[in-house]
């Protein structure tokens, strides 16, 4: 499983990202990520629920972009602080711990 995660904006305006590739991990560590993704419920979401934006009057929200690739294909998700499904909070928290600053591509 391969995961690309990016979180940007918000009051702080920071740009942080990470890439997780279970191929380079030991079995236990890799399984942990697979379990986290399963628990997030993201891959079970219908297409229309994979992108969520809060109403425009909500401001300073961070934008969260996740791409997950597994044997079923490549899956893309886009949320913000208010639309991230609560089941995915654990996964996003773990991804944030791995994320490092990612300069703007201009």
Per CB under 8 A, residues contacting other proteins are 8-16, 54-63, 81-82, 86, 89, 93, 96, 100-106
Please, are residues 68 and 7 in contact by the beta-carbon 8 Å criterion?
Answer: no
- Cβ-Cβ contacts under 8 Å for 81 (sequence gap 6 or more): 10, 54, 61, 62, 64
User: Nearest distance from residue 13's CB to Zn ion, in Å?
Assistant: 9
* Interaction partner, residue 104 (Zn ion, other proteins, none; CB < 5-8 Å by kind): other proteins
Closest to 19 (Cα-Cα) out of 40, 8, 32, 33: 33
Nearer residue to Zn ion within complex by CB, 35 or 60: 60
Return residues touching Zn ion (CB under 5 A). Answer: 60
Residue 29 or residue 60: which is nearer to Zn ion going by CB?
60
């Amino acid at each position: 499983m391969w995961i690309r995660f990016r979180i940007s904006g918000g009051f702080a305006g920071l740009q942080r990202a990470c890439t997780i590739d279970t191929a380079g991990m030991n079995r236990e560590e890799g399984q942990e990520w697979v379990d986290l993704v399963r628990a997030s419920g993201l891959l079970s979401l219908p297409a229309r629920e994979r992108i969520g934006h809060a109403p425009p009057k909500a401001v300073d929200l961070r934008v969260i972009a996740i791409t997950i690739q597994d044997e079923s294909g490549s899956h893309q998700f886009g949320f913000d602080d208010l639309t991230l499904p609560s089941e995915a909070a654990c996964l996003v928290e773990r991804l944030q711990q791995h994320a490092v600053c990612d300069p703007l591509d201009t």
